[in-house]
């Protein structure tokens, strides 16, 4: 009896908190759930069809280098570096990357004391500046949880906001 | 006009919080929790005893040789372990269902509450506070939502419009539409279930810990557990982060804002246990 073969079905890869993943498998859909004040970054090279997703929790790895080494995806700076490196190893070209950003939600904090979300967004902007890259679209801030997905076959980005039943296509 | 008490009385379908679990929380008010007292409270409940033994021998809690009786299980887990396990068992039945009025799907409120409890416990251990007390306050902080969800369900569109229009915290929207909020209702519910006053106050003031009087510190832990769970993506429902910044939560717990990222990285490791806790059910 031949072994069962799974073809024609999208393969959903769930990227957890402080994780990142890169794929060139066209049947993969990279998804990360519930970003909160964390940021979710997708990168995609449409020529070689390589895409990646990062779910970073905190802006700056210097608070704990040991944890940054064990979990580079925990921090925006080390996470972005690892994401770009992994995608380029799969022959993605930085100049062709489409970059999308979601998350960075915050509580109602006029004093900006608990502003992890805003600091994550600022750290992300700094990473792009250093790499001379630009973000193509973003859905950030506010008080909502967001879930984001990237199709490796098409580069399509989907976004779902907590409390809403419908998933929206970001691009 | 609907009153909180009328609202709670009308919740016929609300499962009761098991009596022995309420009695168990009374032990938290004693300086040193005693394992024997825990055994005395749960040994006459065969269903609960069976669940505790099953969980104690599960992959997460288990050791090489399985515990054969309740006393052995409680001795192995210790007072804090057994307490947190049993109180989670009691809370899971209440917190698992969907809360449509808030746009919360089945399992989401349970996941949020357990996460807040594990984060709160993590901070309490570092601050040398009672981990089981903080765990319980954080676990139950949103219990009022299970009462208010039905009332808000009929007005959900209005809730959405109101939060969008005013950019208001959820508790303010609840107060303007219903006359009270989920924190107040949660406190009243625990009071009716005869929980210790400190847990009642912590839940009642988890969005305004400064108002918690002598129990303000515990309320501050519930605030921080809730906030960090939301930051880490374990918030739930519509406008999950729509609540006010309360800087007094830091002063009350003796922490500083710069500690927050460190608490989040520590909590990340504590949440490695999350799946085991999420699977707790009776």
The answer to whether the Cβ–Cβ distance between A35 and B103 falls below 8 Å is: no
User: What is the three-class DSSP state of A53?
Assistant: strand
Q: How far is CA A50 from CA A4, A53, A65, B206, in A?
A: 27, 11, 29, 45
Q: Considering chain B, what is the average pLDDT of its residues?
A: 85
Rounded Cα–Cα distance for residues B87 and A149 (Å): 36
Facing A111 at nearest CB: one of B236, B240, B245: B245
Phi and psi of A167, rounded to 5°? -90, 135
Q: What is the pLDDT of residue B279?
A: 73
Which residues in chain A are closer than 8 Å to B238, comparing Cβ atoms? Answer: 144, 162-164
Lowest mean pLDDT among A21-30, A111-120, B23-32, B124-133: B23-32
Mean pLDDT of B52-58: 79
The model's confidence at residue B87, banded by pLDDT at 50, 70 and 90, is confident
Tell me the pLDDT tens digit for each residue of A72-118: 999 999 999 999 999 999 999 999 999 999 999 999 988 888 889 99
The model's confidence at residue B63, banded by pLDDT at 50, 70 and 90, is low
Inside any domain, residue A6: no
Inside any domain, residue A23: yes
CATH of the domain at A81: 3.30.1330.200
Q: What is the pLDDT of residue A8?
A: 65
As for the ipTM of the complex, it is 0.90
Inside any domain, residue A5: no
- Mutate which: B224, B233, B268, vs A, most A CBs within 10 A: B233
Q: Which residue of A has its CA nearest to B259?
A: A63
The answer to whether the Cβ–Cβ distance between A108 and B257 falls below 8 Å is: no
Q: What is the pLDDT of residue B168?
A: 81
Q: What is the pLDDT of residue B88?
A: 87
User: Is A127 designated active site?
Assistant: no
Kindly report the nearest CA distance between residue A36 and chain B, in angstroms.
Answer: 4
Residues of chain A with pLDDT under 70: 1-8, 163, 165-166, 171
Q: What is the pLDDT of residue B194?
A: 85
Inside any domain, residue A1: no
Q: What is the pLDDT of residue B274?
A: 74
- CB contact, 8 Å: A67 with chain B? yes
Inside any domain, residue A4: no
Cα Rg of chain B, angstroms:
18
Q: What is the DSSP secondary-structure string of A90-111?
A: TT--GGG-EEEEEE----B-TT
The answer to whether the Cβ–Cβ distance between A162 and B169 falls below 8 Å is: no
The model's confidence at residue B13, banded by pLDDT at 50, 70 and 90, is low
Mean pLDDT of B27-56: 78
Q: What is the pLDDT of residue B11?
A: 65
User: What is the three-class DSSP state of B231?
Assistant: helix
Mean pLDDT of B30-37: 71
Give residue for tokens 């099953």.
Answer: B54
Contact B240, B52 (CB under 8 A): no
**pLDDT of residue B127 exceeding 80:** yes
Q: What is the pLDDT of residue B165?
A: 78
Which residues in chain A are closer than 8 Å to B169, comparing Cβ atoms? Answer: 108
Mean pLDDT of B129-135: 93
Give the global pTM: 0.90
Contact B233, A36 (CB under 8 A): yes
Q: Which residue of B has its CA nearest to A35?
A: B233
Which residues in chain A are closer than 8 Å to B232, comparing Cβ atoms? Answer: 17, 36-38, 57
Tell me the pLDDT tens digit for each residue of B211-269: 999 999 999 999 999 999 999 999 888 888 889 999 999 999 999 999 999 999 988 88
Inside any domain, residue A3: no
CB-based contacts of B266: which residues, under 8 Å, 6+ apart? B122, B126
Mean pLDDT of B18-43: 76
Q: What is the pLDDT of residue B154?
A: 81
Inside any domain, residue A2: no
Q: What is the pLDDT of residue A1?
A: 61
Q: What is the pLDDT of residue B178?
A: 85
Q: What is the pLDDT of residue A165?
A: 65
How many domains does the structure of chain A reveal? 1
The answer to whether the Cβ–Cβ distance between B260 and A114 falls below 8 Å is: yes
Picking from B8, B22, B25, the residue whose alpha carbon sits closest to that of residue B189 is: B8
CB-based contacts of B160: which residues, under 8 Å, 6+ apart? A163, B238
Mean pLDDT of B21-42: 77
**pLDDT of residue B271 exceeding 70:** yes
Q: What is the pLDDT of residue B61?
A: 67
The answer to whether the Cβ–Cβ distance between B102 and A163 falls below 8 Å is: yes
- Could you give the percent of chain A with pLDDT greater than 70? 92
Q: Domains along chain B?
A: 12-278 (1.10.3210.10)
A88: containing domain:
11-169
Chain A residues 99-158 with a CB less than 8 Å from chain B: 105-111, 113-114, 116-117, 142-145
């Amino acid at each position: 009896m031949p072994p069962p073969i799974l073809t024609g079905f999208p393969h959903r890869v769930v990227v957890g908190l402080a994780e990142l993943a890169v794929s060139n498998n066209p049947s993969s859909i990279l998804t990360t759930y519930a970003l909160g004040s964390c940021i979710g970054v997708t990168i995609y090279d449409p020529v070689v069809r390589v895409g990646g997703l990062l779910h970073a929790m905190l802006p700056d790895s210097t608070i704990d280098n040991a944890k940054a080494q064990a979990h580079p995806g925990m921090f925006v700076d080390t996470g972005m570096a690892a994401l770009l490196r992994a995608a380029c190893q799969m022959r993605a070209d930085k100049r062709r990357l489409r970059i999308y950003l979601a998350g960075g939600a915050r509580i109602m904090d006029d004093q900006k004391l608990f502003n992890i979300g805003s600091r994550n967004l600022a750290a992300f902007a700094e990473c792009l500046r250093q790499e001379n890259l630009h973000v193509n679209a973003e859905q950030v801030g506010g008080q909502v949880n967001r879930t984001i997905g990237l199709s490796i076959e098409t580069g399509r980005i989907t976004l779902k906001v907590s409390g809403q039943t419908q998933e929206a296509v970001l691009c | 006009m609907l009153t909180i008490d009328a609202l709670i009385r009308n919740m016929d379908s609300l499962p009761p919080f098991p009596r022995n679990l309420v009695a168990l929380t009374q032990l938290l008010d004693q300086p040193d929790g005693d394992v024997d007292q825990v055994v005395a409270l749960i040994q006459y409940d065969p269903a609960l005893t069976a669940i505790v033994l099953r969980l104690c021998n599960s992959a997460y809690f288990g050791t090489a040789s399985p515990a054969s009786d309740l006393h052995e299980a409680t001795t192995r887990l210790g007072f804090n372990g057994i307490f947190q396990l049993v109180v989670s068992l009691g809370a899971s039945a209440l917190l698992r269902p969907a809360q449509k009025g808030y746009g919360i799907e089945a399992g989401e409120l349970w996941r949020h509450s357990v996460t807040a409890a594990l984060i709160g416990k993590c901070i309490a251990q570092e601050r040398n506070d009672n981990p089981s007390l903080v765990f319980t306050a954080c676990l139950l902080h949103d219990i009022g939502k299970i009462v208010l969800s039905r009332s808000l369900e009929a007005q959900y569109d209005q809730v959405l419009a109101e939060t969008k229009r005013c950019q208001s915290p959820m508790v303010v929207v609840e107060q303007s539409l219903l006359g009270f909020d989920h924190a107040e209702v949660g406190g009243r519910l625990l009071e009716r279930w005869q929980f210790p006053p400190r847990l009642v106050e912590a839940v009642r003031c988890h969005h305004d810990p400064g108002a918690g009087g002598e129990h303000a510190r515990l309320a501050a832990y519930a605030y921080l557990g809730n906030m960090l769970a939301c930051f880490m993506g374990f918030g739930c429902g519509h406008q999950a982060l729509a609540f006010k910044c309360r800087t007094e939560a830091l002063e009350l717990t003796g922490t500083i804002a710069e500690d927050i990222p460190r608490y989040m990285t520590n909590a990340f490791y504590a949440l490695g246990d999350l799946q085991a806790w999420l699977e707790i059910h009776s």
